Structure 1
Amino acid sequence: MSENWNSDLLSCCDDMKSCCYGLWCCPCLACTVSGLFGQNRCLPLCDICSPAVMSAFGIPLCVPPAGLALRVGIRQKYEIKGSLCKDIATSCICVWCSWCQLHRELKYRNHTPAVVNQPKK
């Protein structure tokens, strides 16, 4: 059973904290998402360094490898509808929105509801 993303790609108003975090410090948000998903927090820094290193060898790189890998991993773990082509397009075209969506998704999935028991009087 596949389900949809909890929020759309451009649904920043659903969680203004994630949106502001991504707007003001997207690399920090990306590292937070990586940590929330159980990966090394420094993994998204590869997306910053890899284009420069690859272009030094004459290989153009437009797909952020860590961002794409985390997006695919989250989508597969939670059985979210989508495809690799959509993940590539999202990771390349709308980087900040993608990280914000991943952050909102993980916050929703990792949220555990609190149970309050009141003693009877």
Structure 2
Amino acid sequence: MSYPVTSQPQCATTSCYQTQLSDWHTGLTDCCNDMPVCLCGTFAPLCLACRISDDFGECCCAPYLPGGLHSIRTGMRERYHIQGSVGHDWAALTFCLPCALCQMARELKIRE
């Protein structure tokens, strides 16, 4: 005989699913911290997006797909436990694309 599930299992300690969230190592507008990345992000953003995608372990075509850059940025935040939200990612990539790409490239460079 089976019994219906009436509650979800609970974690025995309060730190069961807690992870330490950090910030991006560089700010969104710190583009000049790495001049080659800054120039690439300014004059060839799609090339930089492909490099970011490749360095992150995704297909180089991912930035060309609808929502591709957004998913890469969100995935980067999740992988490296960086604070933020999908809304912040969307705003950064929509209104400050070159700066957001440069920030992502610098983050990958620092975390290598």
Report the counterpart of residue 46 of structure 2 in structure 1: 27
Q: TM-score normalised to the size of structure 2?
A: 0.79
Structure 1 residue 92, shift from structure 2 partner: 1.1
Structure 1 residue 94, shift from structure 2 partner: 0.9
Report the counterpart of residue 70 of structure 1 in structure 2: 72
Identity of aligned residues (%): 38
Superposition CA RMSD, Å: 0.9
Q: Output the amino acid matched with 1:108.
A: I
Q: TM-score normalised to the size of structure 1?
A: 0.74
Structure 1 residue 68, shift from structure 2 partner: 0.6
Following TM superposition, where does structure 1 have runs of at least 4 consecutive aligned residues deviating by more than 3 angstroms? none
Structure 1 residue 43, shift from structure 2 partner: 1.1
Report the counterpart of residue 109 of structure 1 in structure 2: 111
Alignment of 1:36-47 (within 5 A): 36-46=55-65
C-alpha separation between the residues in 1 aligned to 2:56 and 2:26? 17
Unaligned ranges ≥5, structure 2 = 1-19
Give the number of equivalent residue pairs. Answer: 93
Report the counterpart of residue 81 of structure 1 in structure 2: 83
C-alpha separation between the residues in 1 aligned to 2:94 and 2:111? 25
1:5 has 2:24 as partner: yes
Secondary structure of 1:44's counterpart equals helix
Unaligned ranges ≥5, structure 1 = 51-64, 111-121
Structure 1 residue 100, shift from structure 2 partner: 0.8
